[in-house]
Amino acid sequence: MNILILGAGQVGASLAEALVSEANDITLVDLDAGALAQLADRLDVRTVTGNAAFPSVLAEAGVETADLIVAVTQSDQSNLVACKLAHSRFAVPTRIARLRSPDFLDPTLLSTDNFAVDFALCPEQEISDYIGKLVEYPEALQVVEFAEGRLTMVGLRAYEGGLLVGKPIRAMRGHLPSGVDARIAAIFRDTRAINIDGDTVVHAGDEVFLLAATEHIRTVLKELRRMQKPVRKVMIAGAGNVGARVAGRLEGSCEVKLVESRPARAALVAGWLNRTLVLTGEATDETLLAREEIGSMDMFLALTNDDENNIMAASLAKRLGCRRVLALINREAYADMVQGGPIDIGLSPAQVSIGGLLTHVRQADVARVHSLRRGAAEALELVVRGERGSSRVVGRRIEELPEIHGASIAAVVRGGRVIIPHHDTLIEAGDHVVVFCTRKRYIAAVEKLFLPTASLLPGWFR
């Protein structure tokens, strides 16, 4: 696929990195020649320096032959203009835009007759929703949903003394109540995925991805981690777009304190919120945190636009007794470095946002994509199309499918019903199948497996 990415910031760079290894031709456009040069040194991509909203720049980037344009510059206006030009002047089949302002998230404005945006991504909203889930499941490192919320996958750290630690995976079923089923989709040990089966023993410290029907996930979580108290008191550092949205989401169920260093912004956000206490000050001020009783907080969320401030504020909050802390960190190297130390969760905004983009880029019929472990792994929800004569999966048991090393079918959703599959589970047309890929390089083979084909090639099945 020929893909044109406009904007070489965190989201554009992360998207290019995710797609360049999948036999795609990627061209990046940005005003920052230095940022493009760094990406060109690291990735097999073509780069063009210029304003992505200019027709001449788009033409130089090869927009005439593009299958897809992804406009993720820092400017909503530039993204909208680029999509409009891509449609009306260059006939690009699919157009995606990142839009920060809610004023632009109007289906009429984005229709083909206007700005011609097929899919609009609002990163701040996606990040706010994601953080809301982490507050809802405070024991989790990641929480993602599939099948319109019917299925939940939780990534968490197995702890010493947990019911399953030191025992084989198959022992989990013996602890679950009747009618409750779950699947351990993957285990990462010392940052590496390990091959698992029913006899695999869970170790303390393992990063485990657990999947179950959403109504059962709380019950299942007790298997691997001591359930923490529900989050009732939250302090947020930063009243920017993300911090203000998260405060608005949480203030109905939690006692929320929001710390903002800019007096004018603090006053503005205080007028938007109903039950949040907005404070003017620095979240790295130990005196302020102590005065506001940070030690009694269930969760501290460092959501400013400054990575270093977020790391410092979260580390300080943890030292002063806050039960769990999260830091929003744009630089992936920082996120990898700090998580697991004093900071419980280092969250990369780009990796949260990228799932929505990848959903519209994958070649198979993909309903949802979630980037996991800061891009190292992916979980895909694929819709099964075709019939036995034109599909490699329809009408076949899981044990009959060709083995793709590093990829496994973790769940099937059929007619709204969640099925935790076994080797003899039959795949049917219309099923939503969740596939966990422990490495990105396996994704192309998974897509090929689920794509309908006019005639099956010999050797696909044993």
Q: Which of 93, 121, 149 is the last residue of a domain?
A: 121
Q: If DSSP codes are grouped into helix, strand and coil, which group holds residue 262? A: coil
At 359, list the tokens: 């959903």
- Which of 331, 347, 363 is the last residue before a domain boundary? 347
Instruction: Supply 403's token pair.
Output: 């083995």
Statement to judge: residues 334 and 362 lie in one domain: no
**10 Å Cβ neighbour count for 44?**
11
Strands 277-280 and 182-189: unpaired
Residue 330 burial (CB count, 10 A): 16
- Helices marked H in 241-306 — which ranges? 241-250, 263-272, 286-291
Tokens linked to 393: 């999966």
> Where do the H-state alpha helices sit in 62-216?
76-88, 107-110, 123-136, 172-175
pLDDT at 459: 41
Q: Smallest Cα–Cα separation from 347: which of 358, 356, 335?
A: 335
User: CA angle at residue 380 from 377 to 385, to 5 degrees?
Assistant: 150
Residue 447 and residue 462: Cα distance in Å, rounded? 19
Q: Do 431 and 367 fall within a single domain?
A: yes
DSSP labels, 300-327: EEE-SS-HHHHHHHHHHHHHTT-SEEEE
Q: Is residue 134 situated within a structural domain?
A: no
Instruction: Quickly tell me which residue has 């030009």 as its tokens.
Output: 85
Dihedral of alpha carbons 167, 172, 173, 174, sign: positive
Residue 130 in any domain: the answer is no
Packing angle, helices 10-20 and 33-42, rounded to 10: 20
Same domain, 364 and 332: no
Nearest in space to 188 (alpha carbons), one of 171, 205, 169: 205
Are 423 and 313 found together in one domain? no
**Quick check: helix, strand or coil at residue 48?**
strand
Cβ atoms of 299 and 316 closer than 8 Å: no
- Residue pair 302/327 in contact by the 8 Å Cβ criterion: yes
Q: Identify the domain containing residue 445 by its residue range.
A: 352-450
In-domain check, residue 391: yes
Are 6 and 111 within one domain?
Answer: yes
Closest to 310 (Cα-Cα) out of 350, 346, 269: 346
- pLDDT confidence of residue 334: 73
Q: Within a domain: residue 174?
A: yes
- pLDDT, residue 352, reads 86
pLDDT tens series, the chain, 462 aa? 899 999 999 889 988 988 886 678 999 999 999 999 999 999 999 999 999 999 999 999 999 999 999 999 999 999 999 999 999 999 999 999 999 888 899 999 999 999 999 999 898 888 999 999 999 999 898 999 999 999 999 998 888 877 788 999 998 888 888 889 999 999 999 888 999 999 999 999 899 999 999 999 988 887 666 667 899 999 999 999 999 999 999 999 999 999 999 999 999 999 999 999 999 999 999 999 999 999 999 999 999 999 999 999 999 999 999 999 999 998 876 766 776 678 999 998 888 888 878 887 776 688 888 888 877 788 999 999 988 888 899 999 999 998 888 899 999 999 989 999 999 999 999 999 999 998 877 888 898 899 887 444 444 433
Residue with tokens 């010493």: 160
Residues 223, 158, 212, 226, CA torsion sign: positive
> Does residue 7 share a domain with residue 115?
yes
Beta bridge partners, 3, equal 26, 68
Q: Do residues 70 and 52 both lie within one domain? A: yes
The residue behind tokens 């290894």 is 21
Please give the backbone phi and psi of residue 245, each rounded to the nearest 5 degrees, phi first.
-65, -45
User: Pairing relation of β-strands 255-260 and 277-280?
Assistant: parallel
Same domain (yes/no): 361, 413: yes
What was the pLDDT predicted at 339? 64
Tokens describing residue 73: 């510059």
**Per-residue confidence (pLDDT) for residue 226, from 0 to 100:** 64
The residue among 203, 205, 162, 207 whose CA lies nearest residue 188 is 207
User: Is 43 buried (19+), middle (13-18) or exposed (0-12) by CB count in 10 A?
Assistant: middle
Question: Is 462 contained in some domain?
Answer: no
CATH number at residue 294: 3.40.50.720
Q: Are 94 and 61 in contact (CB under 8 A)?
A: no
Domain count, the chain: 4
Residue 61 covered by a domain: yes
345: helix, coil or strand?
A: strand
The dihedral sign for the CA sequence 82, 84, 87, 93 = positive
Report the chain's terminal Cα–Cα distance, integer Å: 30
Of 67, 93, 121, which closes a domain? Answer: 121
- Asked if residues 421 and 397 have their Cβ atoms less than 8 Å apart, the reply is no
- At 181, which CATH number? 3.30.70.1450
459 inside domain: no
Do 88 and 47 fall within a single domain?
yes
Q: What is the pLDDT of residue 457?
A: 42
Same-domain check for residues 165 and 264: no
Q: Using CA atoms, how far apart are residues 85 and 6, in angstroms rounded to an integer?
A: 13
Residue 340 lies in a domain: yes
Q: State whether residue 315 is helix, strand or coil.
A: helix
260 and 214 part of one domain: no
Pull the structure tokens for residue 351: 């990796």
Same domain, 109 and 151: no
Per-position b or e across 71-89, b if 16+ CB within 10 A of its CB: bbbebbebbbbbbbbbbee
